[in-house]
């Protein structure tokens, strides 16, 4: 925990950004905030100062966090006409916690460094629940000295905080995370669909598997979603699609084949074709169910 109150900026107050910013406010820091969407009530009614632009946030704060959906959004937030970069002065720190392209991240970091400022890429895993509970995993790319300065703030938002390497390496770790998550959702979906079609109670199968080598956070949380049919996000399919696009495009550039990642992306694509871009990513199972003409929990 930090003992000294800091002037912190936060740009992007969506499902993830709102609780993350809230933890910084609760710790006693002075927050300067900007978001393109409607200002969340929890932030509007707090001690945070609402700013008219990302530039105004950067002018007021010594450390600026960004948490927006995709690579073009980060570029706009940082380098648009009223972006963060326009309000920076030497010695300030920019921390992007969005999940975006590792290649673009390296370019963004170079541009911020050229202004005499430091840059960390610090994407997170853990979803809305992790953001609310301050239990996010945070994967960081940047200099060790800057990481150590910001780590007390990361500790207000997460539990598993790792400096992976230089700028871009945090984003690379997040892409790897999203590959594992997507493939595990697919595996859990196949297993519970198989068990249900075979006539077993999928809830009890899940309970049995939780005690063995197949146990995972995804079986625990998303397996329950599949059984109970609760597909409100959470983490939207369209955002996981974006992350797998990063994986597949980066893999092509590296000459690496990711066959099962491509399959998972096609299952997400099928969900979107059926109107599911805003479903929770656990709803990937619905694409498998379409292929089987059978839903988990249905009587065989």
Could you list the active site residues? 174
DSSP string covering 20-89, please? Answer: HHHHHHHTT-EEEEE-SSPPPHHHHTSSPEE-SSHHHHHHH-SEEEE--SSHHHHHHHHHSTTSHHHH--
Query: Is the distance from CB of 237 to CB of 243 less than 8 angstroms?
Result: no
Residue 115's closest CA among 169, 64, 53, 50?
Answer: 64
Query: Is the distance from CB of 20 to CB of 26 less than 8 angstroms?
Result: no
Residue 286's closest CA among 221, 225, 220?
Answer: 225
Query: Is the distance from CB of 21 to CB of 27 less than 8 angstroms?
Result: no
Beta-carbon count within 10 A of 4 CB: 7
| Backbone phi and psi for residue 162, each to the nearest 5 degrees, phi listed first | -130, 130
Beta-bridge partner residues of 214: none
Q: How far is CA 62 from CA 56, 74, 87, 246, in A?
A: 12, 19, 11, 31
Interatomic CA distance for residues 148 and 250, integer angstroms: 29
The phi-psi region of residue 229 (left if phi > 0; otherwise alpha if psi is between -120 and 50; otherwise beta) is left
Query: Is the distance from CB of 14 to CB of 100 less than 8 angstroms?
Result: no
């Amino acid at each position: 925990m930090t003992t000294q109150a800091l002037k912190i900026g936060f740009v992007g107050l969506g499902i993830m950004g709102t609780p993350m910013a809230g933890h910084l406010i609760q710790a006693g820091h002075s927050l300067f905030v900007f978001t393109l969407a409607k200002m969340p009530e929890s932030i509007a009614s707090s001690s945070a100062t609402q700013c008219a632009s990302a530039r105004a946030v950067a002018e007021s704060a010594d450390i600026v966090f960004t948490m927006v959906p995709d690579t073009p959004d980060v570029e706009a937030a940082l380098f648009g006409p009223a972006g963060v970069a326009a309000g920076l002065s030497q010695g300030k720190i920019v921390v992007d916690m969005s999940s975006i392209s590792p290649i673009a991240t390296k370019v963004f970091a170079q541009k911020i460094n050229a202004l005499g400022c430091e840059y960390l890429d610090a994407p997170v895993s853990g979803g809305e629940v992790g953001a609310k509970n301050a239990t996010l995993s945070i994967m960081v790319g940047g200099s060790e000295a800057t990481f150590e300065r910001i780590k007390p703030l990361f500790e207000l938002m997460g539990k598993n905080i790792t400096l992976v390497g230089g700028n871009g390496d945090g984003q690379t770790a997040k892409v790897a995370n999203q590959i594992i998550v997507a493939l595990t959702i697919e595996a859990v979906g196949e297993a519970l669909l198989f068990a249900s079609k075979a006539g077993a109670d999928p809830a009890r199968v899940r309970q049995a598997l939780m005690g063995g080598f197949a146990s995972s956070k995804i079986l625990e949380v998303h397996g329950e979603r599949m059984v109970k049919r609760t597909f409100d996000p959470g983490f939207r399919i369209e955002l996981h699609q974006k992350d797998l696009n990063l994986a597949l495009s980066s893999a092509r550039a590296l000459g690496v084949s990711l066959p099962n990642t491509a399959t998972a992306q096609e299952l997400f694509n099928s969900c979107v074709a059926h109107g599911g871009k805003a479903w929770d990513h656990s709803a990937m199972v619905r694409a498998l169910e379409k292929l089987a003409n059978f839903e988990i929990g249905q009587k065989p």
